[in-house]
Amino acid sequence: MAVTALYVHVPFCAQKCRYCDFDSRSVSPCDLNAALDAYFGHLYARLDAFGNAGAFRQIRTVYVGGGTPSLTGERLVKLARRISMWCKPVEFTCEANPESLTAGLATALAEAGVTRISLGVQTLENTELAAIGRIHNAERALEAIATVKDVGLDVSCDLMCGLPGQTMASWQYTLDGVLAGAPHHVSVYPLTLEEGTPLYRMACRDESLEPDEDFQAACMDVARERLSSAGYHPYEVASYALDGHECVHNIAYWTGQGYLGLGRSAAGMLDAEDFNRLAGLFPGVSSRGDAHRMRLVQRDDGATMFDAEYLSRREAAAEDLMLACRMTRGVASELLVRAACVISAGELAAACDRALELGLATWVPEHGDTHAGPIASVDVIAGRTCARLAPTHLGWLDGNVLFELFWGLA
């Protein structure tokens, strides 16, 4: 389980969005510099500690997320330079919001080694932006897309459907406007009301603010049609890319690669061997004999407290199967064969057959296999037939049911 991905969390925002339950904080302008200096000091110490331990030798992708990393300006550039001292990723993404991404910042990030900007656009209707607490407007969002492209970086746009006041006409307007800007990648997410957020509390008083799942499904369908016809292929449940512009970092998460997380609330995933090698960097966390993998979440700014989740071989296999169901390609036969080493073939076949019965997935021959007749789950799991279990349209729209079938095997 090679550690190929690095996530760095920057939890500062100019204003917290009404739907957001991420670990992020808004700080008054007079206190912001001191807060940023303290936090980035912790990040640099953490980066250097892992670098000196040799933890970044196989890193292929870096993702700086938040919060709003672009809010930190020149500090973000210095952070990118510091990361680039320790590794040379093939993909280096920084998240940004339109209101804080300038041409100068984009240029400096490119010079520091960043290859990709992920922009929080969400919608191109100003009334919808205001309803969810965003502080940019549609014009600024389109300018930001152009700015990123002008400096030669890849740009990805996040969009949301099911927003308060959103209609199918306004959703189509957003899609058309973003497509006119020709980003390299688009992510489409249905709005979820998380308990404790301002929008959740507002919806408790006004049911009209609660997202309509049927409307969201229709929006997802329209997005898939529009994006696909414009040359963006759907490679994951929420992700569309022009050829060669898929998010390699996120694919690492979905395909069982090891990753490191730096910063408050950042998560990492290590196998037992890598954890034992780096155990000194996770104070208070001990290994466990039956753990095949460990998920480690930093709980404070200074990296002195961590939560640890221990996954057995069976749980790790079930998680790999579940995450593979997020991908358009689905679950490869090789993964099914490997999973059968720790999950009984009967249980695994039953889960596959149930997915087929519910219309959530279908068998697709792979590696040039020309198997005649229906493909049997037991044959794929036994390695007698090469086929992948790919989500159907229903499995894409109703993914949680499909995911649970395989996570239930844990």
Provide the pLDDT for residue 230.
98
Average pLDDT of the chain to the nearest whole number: 95
Provide the pLDDT for residue 23.
85
CB 1 within 8 A of CB 254: no
pLDDT confidence bin for 215, thresholds 50/70/90:
very high
Q: Say whether 160 sits in a helix, a strand or coil.
A: strand
* Count of beta carbons in the 10 Å neighbourhood of residue 191: 20
The answer, yes or no, to whether residue 371 has pLDDT greater than 60, is no
CB 144 within 8 A of CB 98: yes
What whole-number distance in Å separates Cα of residue 398 and Cα of residue 217?
9
Distance from the Cα of residue 148 to its chain's centroid: 20
CB 148 within 8 A of CB 119: yes
What whole-number distance in Å separates Cα of residue 324 and Cα of residue 256?
9
The answer, yes or no, to whether residue 368 has pLDDT greater than 70, is no
What whole-number distance in Å separates Cα of residue 162 and Cα of residue 213?
8
Do β-strands 12-13 and 3-10 pair in parallel, antiparallel, or remain unpaired? unpaired
According to DSSP, the residues that pair with 6 across neighbouring strands are 62, 260
Q: Which residues contact 189 (CB under 8 A, 6 or more apart)?
A: 158, 159, 160, 161, 238
Measured CA distances, 29 to 9, 14, 33, 74 (Å): 20, 9, 8, 16
The tens digit of pLDDT for each residue in 342-356 reads 999 999 999 999 999
Q: Which residues contact 39 (CB under 8 A, 6 or more apart)?
A: 10, 11, 12, 263, 264, 301
The answer, yes or no, to whether residue 15 has pLDDT greater than 60, is yes
Q: Give 206: exposed, middle or buried? Use CB within 10 Å, 0-12, 13-18, 19+.
A: exposed
The answer, yes or no, to whether residue 30 has pLDDT greater than 90, is no
The answer, yes or no, to whether residue 1 has pLDDT greater than 80, is no
Angle subtended by helix axes 103-111 and 74-86, to nearest 10: 10
The answer, yes or no, to whether residue 366 has pLDDT greater than 90, is no
- Please give the average per-residue pLDDT across 122-135, as a whole number: 97
The residue behind tokens 């790999």 is 320
What whole-number distance in Å separates Cα of residue 182 and Cα of residue 142?
10
The Cα angle at residue 146 between residues 140 and 152, in degrees rounded to 5: 140
> Whose CA is closest to 406, among 334, 310, 314?
314
Distance from the Cα of residue 262 to its chain's centroid: 16
The answer, yes or no, to whether residue 369 has pLDDT greater than 90, is no
CB 6 within 8 A of CB 248: no
For the chain, the domains span 3-251, 327-407
Provide the pLDDT for residue 372.
56
Provide the pLDDT for residue 331.
97
Higher pLDDT, 383 or 219: 219
Q: Say whether 376 sits in a helix, a strand or coil.
A: coil
pLDDT confidence bin for 228, thresholds 50/70/90:
very high
The Cα angle at residue 198 between residues 195 and 204, in degrees rounded to 5: 65
- Please give the average per-residue pLDDT across 329-347, as a whole number: 96
The answer, yes or no, to whether residue 367 has pLDDT greater than 90, is no
Distance from the Cα of residue 180 to its chain's centroid: 24
Supply the DSSP string of 287-298, one letter for each residue: --TT-SEEEEEE
Does an H or E element contain 94, and which?
strand 91-96
CB 109 within 8 A of CB 96: no
The sign of the dihedral angle between the CA atoms of 402, 404, 406, 407 is positive
What whole-number distance in Å separates Cα of residue 87 and Cα of residue 57?
7
- Please give the average per-residue pLDDT across 112-129, as a whole number: 98
Supply the DSSP string of 206-268, one letter for each residue: -GGGSPPHHHHHHHHHHHHHHHHHTT-EEEETTEEE-TT---HHHHHHHTT-EEEEESTT-EE
CB 211 within 8 A of CB 231: no
CB 119 within 8 A of CB 156: yes
What whole-number distance in Å separates Cα of residue 370 and Cα of residue 202?
55
What whole-number distance in Å separates Cα of residue 6 and Cα of residue 13?
21
- Please give the average per-residue pLDDT across 63-68, as a whole number: 96
Assess if CATH 3.90.550.10 describes domain 3-251. no
CB 361 within 8 A of CB 355: yes
